[in-house]
């Protein structure tokens, strides 16, 4: 548990401030960003368009390769599993479904499915791993049931906070099976092998401690307090090693914060390079040039993972929220943060936001660069392109808002942050045409990306009252002592702001030298819908797995989906979302948090058909379209995606295991296995209150759920593709929608 602040205070007090002279460890070196030459600055920032947005060419090509190639095969496998499930129930699939998925359709005719997995700490990561397993063609159980295969067929996989750990680790590990992901390749069986010894460590390297190997989540060790025997000396050594690893970045003049420490902690669980054998190996961590605990693994580096290169993973996206540095940059921000705050995404190709206030991207590999060209773009301000202007690579400190600005500090000294800002553009260099600015690489560490997405420490400050008495209190003096030149609020995450000068009129951080980033769930959109609502992505079905802990007992109550709808309503020019209940109370009263629900069932077909959804509005705000009816025509209102909502829920006859605290950060293997088993049951049982389930139960008592759930799921998955063809929903799918739709 990370809540034991007294113990941590003791541990921290044992750690000496780390002197700058200390030789850097392999991890520290690998975690330090480096200067790089900038590409042609006119192409450096991609403006995604205000009205008709565009995707990056790389993403387009990734998705199109999936829908034309790999994906077609994946859909056929999925269809086969669904057909078997249908046959077992003596039902016939609608002809349109069979035709769509059997290989005759490709490209835009196919369903375009995005999976979104919620935050909620290790609970959510584990729960959602089981949900993905239930959709995985490689799981014999899921394939046999008829739900397996959707994971392979989906185009996108989006994670936030604890969900980002799942998405990040899955993708960077090369898309192993979910049991392999959680327990490590050698301990992968979901039926008992999890308790075997953790000797699988050297999967990727052979020598145990290497940059490449993946060995599972190591979730037997806690995050901040991993020592299995509670040995405070081991704890102190552990923290010293972790904190030392951000030394190089700090010395390079980059803003560091607790998010960096968090990154180095999470790396030991969700990034290649750590196993049970080297977890507490501080000798090699200090002295070996090999043991980097995942430092140096970059989010942009996913493009060199073979399954990614083969377009054989759903396209991974990680979501991060922002606190505007212009408005409220302190950690005492009220939560949830405002819905209109910019939501950023990290995909392997790009970092940025499709939110209309920014709508701009940079290459993920150049995260942290402040070069700001843009001649010809008409949107960048002049003079932001100071040669010396970034937050010091090797000490060229400063954030130079001036062509000649940024009298940075001497090379090698800790960057003095904003030093360059006083350049004031005396020569008026119209940044961009000539300047290449200063670029960095190595900032987009996978561990840092997932740490930003789960950077909820500013909220702890708020909910626990006094920072000093919170579990992080003791870390602050340590950070201060170790990085004396840092002067930021250590509870926020920092990325030098490449978007300075972009979209001045609408982007709240257009003048800020850094982006201040926080947990992707702090806007209460615990399920990260936003990237899947981007119209240019054309996602037509979102499978949303929600293990957020909205209630006292750590179950969801619909807040995620209601928040997503409210945000879409607030930014209705950019996003649309199906009708949902107007409050969590209504959501719970309708028991929509108890079972899988489809939202938006009637949003795509002509609304003249009778089944108008109820008047559930999309928002508690007044700005929402009033009654949540389906659009009456297709000319103006875009069709929102259909949302398949799967909530975490207690099972009637089991001891609840899937609702551990968000702050529980360690599970013994047997516990993780039990949680996964229960979550798998939740994901595969369907709506036990459905007519199908009642019928089946009458014939065969003690069925775990709705035997038609796999078929109904496939109906939802293919429904927008059906509507595109102008065909009516029919057969078992019409019956499924009677049972599963919100109405
Ligand atoms: C940079 O890219 C722009 C647009 O593609 C092009 O017009 C320009 O010539 C390029 N400049 C250099 C120096 O390559
Ligand atoms: C966006 O696309 C629509 C439909 O294709 C078109 O009518 C409109 O002019 C476009 N808007 C912009 C700003 O390009
Ligand atoms: C399907 O039909 C067969 C043959 O009529 C029957 O034996 C079987 O019980 C039926 N299965 C279900 C689930 O209804
Ligand atoms: C995929 O198919 C669509 C049409 O079905 C086509 O426009 C597109 O160019 C294809 N892409 C690739 C990479 O083959
Ligand atoms: C393991 O270490 C030995 C000795 O240093 C080296 O020769 C070998 O290449 C290493 N193997 C791997 C997979 O790194
Ligand atoms: C992580 O390790 C696995 C093998 O264990 C490998 O397939 C994958 O490519 C590695 N990922 C990275 C980013 O190096
Ligand atoms: C350091 O690494 C070497 C090579 O992998 C290993 O033999 C040794 O046991 C490690 N040291 C510790 C203290 O674990
Ligand atoms: C690293 O090596 C040095 C010199 O060999 C040694 O003094 C030091 O104790 C080692 N560090 C650790 C953590 O063992
Ligand atoms: C940028 O510089 C050009 C010419 O130097 C000038 O015409 C333009 O007004 C400047 N733009 C801004 C936003 O200052
Ligand atoms: C920048 O450095 C030059 C040369 O050292 C010095 O003359 C000038 O005052 C400095 N400007 C600022 C704004 O610090
Ligand atoms: C920058 O220029 C503005 C406007 O000329 C002036 O008000 C400001 O004091 C200058 N800042 C510095 C640091 O020279
Ligand atoms: C003050 C400072 O750091 N100036 C440096 C700016 O960058 C150029 C190279 O681009 C160096 O030569 C200067 O010393």
Nearest partner of 348 among 283, 409, 301, judged by Cα: 301
Q: Which residues make Cβ contacts (< 8 Å) with residue 710, sequence separation at least 6?
A: 81, 82, 85, 145, 146, 147, 684, 686
Task: Examine residue 336 and say whether the peptide bond preceding it is cis (omega within 30 degrees of 0).
Answer: yes
The CB of 64 under 6 Å from ligand 4? The reply is: yes
How far, in Å, is the centroid of ligand 8 from the Cα of 280? 15
Cα separation, 384 vs 374, in Å, equals 10
Looking from the CA of residue 301, the nearest atom of ligand 6 is 13
**283, exposed or middle or buried, with CB in 10 Å at 0-12, 13-18, 19+?**
exposed
Looking at residue 583, what is its pLDDT?
Answer: 97
Across residues 604-627, what is the average pLDDT?
40
Q: Which of 316-330, 394-408, 469-483, 503-517 has the highest mean pLDDT?
A: 503-517
When pLDDT is cut at 50, 70 and 90, the band that residue 472 belongs to is low
Mutate to test the pocket of ligand 2, among 47, 52, 634, 635 (most ligand atoms within 8 A of CB): 52
Cα separation, 83 vs 99, in Å, equals 12
Across residues 659-678, what is the average pLDDT?
94
Asked which of 137-146, 223-232, 729-738 is least confident by mean pLDDT, the reply is 223-232
Q: Which of 91-100, 232-241, 437-446 has the highest mean pLDDT?
A: 91-100
Cα separation, 190 vs 656, in Å, equals 19
CB 24 within 8 A of CB 292: no
Nearest partner of 500 among 607, 421, 587, 435, judged by Cα: 421
How far, in Å, is the centroid of ligand 2 from the Cα of 53? 10
pTM tops 0.85, yes or no: no
Determine which residue's CA is closest to atom 10 belonging to ligand 5: 207
Cα separation, 549 vs 526, in Å, equals 9
Burial of 99-126, coded b for 16+ CB within 10 Å and e otherwise, reads: bbbeeebeeeebbbbbbbbbbbbbbbbb
What is the dihedral sign for C-alpha 143, 146, 149, 150?
negative
Across residues 663-689, what is the average pLDDT?
95
Looking at residue 470, what is its pLDDT?
Answer: 58
Question: Model confidence over 180-236: pLDDT tens digits?
Answer: 999 998 765 543 322 222 333 333 333 333 455 899 999 999 998 887 777 888 888
For residues 168, 174, 179 and 181, what is the CA-based torsion angle, rounded to 10 degrees? Answer: -40
Q: Which residues make Cβ contacts (< 8 Å) with residue 668, sequence separation at least 6?
A: 220
Across residues 732-741, what is the average pLDDT?
98
The CB of 172 under 6 Å from ligand 12? The reply is: no
Determine which residue's CA is closest to atom 6 belonging to ligand 5: 207
When pLDDT is cut at 50, 70 and 90, the band that residue 490 belongs to is confident
The share of the chain scoring above pLDDT 90, in percent, equals 61
Cα Rg of the chain (Å, integer): 25
How far, in Å, is the centroid of ligand 4 from the Cα of 68? 6
SS3 372: coil
Does 671 or 638 have the greater pLDDT score?
A: 671
SS3 247: helix
When pLDDT is cut at 50, 70 and 90, the band that residue 136 belongs to is very high
Question: Model confidence over 244-259: pLDDT tens digits?
Answer: 999 999 989 899 999 9
Determine which residue's CA is closest to atom 7 belonging to ligand 8: 287
Question: Model confidence over 377-393: pLDDT tens digits?
Answer: 222 222 222 223 332 22
- Provide the mean pLDDT of the chain: 81
The CB of 407 under 6 Å from ligand 10? The reply is: yes
When pLDDT is cut at 50, 70 and 90, the band that residue 325 belongs to is low
Determine which residue's CA is closest to atom 6 belonging to ligand 10: 407
CB 634 within 8 A of CB 600: no
Please determine, for residue 582, whether its predicted confidence score (pLDDT) is greater than 50: yes
**307, exposed or middle or buried, with CB in 10 Å at 0-12, 13-18, 19+?**
middle
Q: Which residues make Cβ contacts (< 8 Å) with residue 477, sequence separation at least 6?
A: 12
Looking from the CA of residue 207, the nearest atom of ligand 5 is 1
Question: Model confidence over 89-133: pLDDT tens digits?
Answer: 999 999 999 999 998 888 889 999 999 999 999 999 999 999 999
Q: Which of 146-155, 178-187, 467-476, 609-618 has the highest mean pLDDT?
A: 146-155
Looking at residue 114, what is its pLDDT?
Answer: 98
Please determine, for residue 37, whether its predicted confidence score (pLDDT) is greater than 60: yes
Query: Do strands 360-363 and 439-441 pair parallel, antiparallel, or not at all (unpaired)?
Result: unpaired
Please determine, for residue 316, whether its predicted confidence score (pLDDT) is greater than 50: yes
Determine which residue's CA is closest to atom 13 belonging to ligand 6: 172
Segments in 232-304 forming alpha helices (H):
232-244, 247-251, 258-270, 282-287
């Amino acid at each position: 548990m990370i809540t034991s602040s007294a113990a941590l205070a003791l541990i921290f007090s044992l750690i000496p401030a780390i002197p700058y002279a200390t030789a850097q460890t392999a991890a520290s070196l690998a975690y330090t960003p480096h200067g790089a030459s900038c590409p042609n600055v006119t192409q450096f920032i991609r403006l995604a368009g205000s009205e008709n947005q565009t995707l990056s060419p790389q993403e387009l090509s990734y998705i199109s390769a999936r829908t034309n190639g790999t994906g077609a095969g994946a859909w056929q496998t999925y269809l086969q599993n669904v057909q078997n499930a249908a046959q077992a129930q003596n039902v016939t699939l609608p002809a349109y479904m069979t035709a769509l998925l059997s290989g005759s359709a490709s490209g835009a005719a196919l369903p375009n499915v995005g999976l979104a997995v919620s935050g909620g700490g290790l609970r959510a990561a584990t729960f959602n791993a089981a949900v993905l397993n239930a959709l995985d063609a490689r799981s014999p159980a899921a394939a046999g049931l008829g739900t397996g295969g959707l994971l392979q067929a989906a185009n996108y996989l989006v994670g936030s906070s604890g969900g980002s750990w799942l998405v990040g680790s899955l993708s960077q590990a090369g898309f192993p099976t979910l049991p392999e992901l959680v327990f490590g390749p050698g301990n992968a069986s979901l039926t008992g092998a999890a308790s075997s010894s953790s000797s699988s460590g050297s999967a990727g390297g052979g020598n145990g401690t290497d940059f490449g190997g993946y060995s599972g989540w190591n979730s037997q060790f806690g995050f901040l307090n991993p020592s299995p025997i509670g040995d405070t000396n081991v704890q102190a050594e552990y923290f010293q090693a972790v904190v030392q690893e951000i030394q190089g970045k700090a010395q390079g003049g980059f803003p560091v914060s607790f998010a960096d420490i968090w990154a180095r902690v999470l790396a030991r669980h969700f990034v290649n390079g750590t196993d049970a054998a080297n977890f507490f190996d501080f000798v090699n961590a200090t002295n070996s040039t090999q043991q980097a605990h995942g430092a140096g693994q970059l989010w942009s580096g996913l493009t060199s993972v073979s399954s990614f290169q083969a377009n054989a993973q759903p396209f991974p996206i990680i979501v991060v929220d922002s606190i505007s540095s212009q408005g409220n940059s302190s950690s005492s921000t009220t939560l949830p943060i405002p819905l209109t705050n910019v939501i950023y995404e990290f995909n392997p190709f790009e970092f940025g936001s499709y939110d209309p206030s920014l709508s701009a991207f940079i290459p993920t590999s150049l995260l942290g660069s402040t070069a700001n060209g843009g001649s010809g773009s008409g949107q960048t301000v002049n003079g932001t392109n100071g040669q010396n202007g970034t937050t010091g690579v090797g000490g060229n400190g400063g954030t130079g808002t001036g062509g000649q600005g940024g009298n940075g500090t001497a090379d090698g000294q800790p960057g003095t942050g904003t030093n360059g800002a006083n350049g004031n553009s005396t020569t008026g260099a119209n940044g961009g045409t000539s300047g290449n600015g200063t670029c960095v690489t190595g900032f987009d560490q996978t561990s840092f990306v997932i740490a930003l997405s789960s950077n909820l420490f500013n909220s702890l400050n708020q909910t626990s009252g006094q920072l000093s008495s919170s579990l992080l209190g003791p870390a602050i003096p340590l950070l201060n002592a170790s990085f004396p030149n840092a002067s930021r609020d250590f509870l926020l995450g920092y990325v030098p702001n490449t978007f300075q000068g972009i979209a001045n009129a609408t982007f709240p951080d257009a003048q800020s030298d850094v982006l201040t980033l926080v947990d992707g769930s702090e806007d209460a959109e615990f399920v990260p819908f936003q990237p899947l609502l981007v119209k240019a992505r054309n996602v037509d079905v979102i499978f949303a797995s929600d293990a957020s802990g909205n209630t006292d007992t750590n179950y969801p109550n619909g807040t995620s989906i209601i928040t997503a709808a409210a945000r879409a309503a607030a930014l209705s020019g950019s996003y649309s979302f199906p009708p949902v209940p107007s409050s969590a109370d209504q959501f719970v009263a309708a028991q929509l948090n108890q079972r899988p629900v489809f939202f938006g069932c009637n949003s795509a077909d002509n609304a003249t058909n009778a089944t108008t959804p109820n008047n559930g509005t999309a928002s508690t705000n007044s700005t929402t379209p009033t009654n949540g009816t389906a659009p009456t025509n297709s000319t103006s209102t875009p069709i929102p995606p259909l949302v398949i909502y799967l909530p975490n829920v207690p099972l009637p006859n089991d001891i609840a295991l899937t609702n551990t605290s968000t702050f529980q950060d360690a599970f013994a293997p047997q516990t993780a296995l039990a949680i996964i088993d229960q979550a798998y049951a939740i994901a595969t049982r369907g709506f036990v209150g459905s007519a199908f389930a009642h019928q089946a139960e009458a014939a065969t008592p003690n069925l775990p759920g709705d035997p038609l759930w796999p078929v109904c799921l496939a109906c939802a998955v293919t429904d927008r593709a059906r509507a595109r063809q102008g065909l009516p929903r029919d057969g078992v799918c019409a019956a499924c929608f009677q049972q599963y739709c919100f109405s």
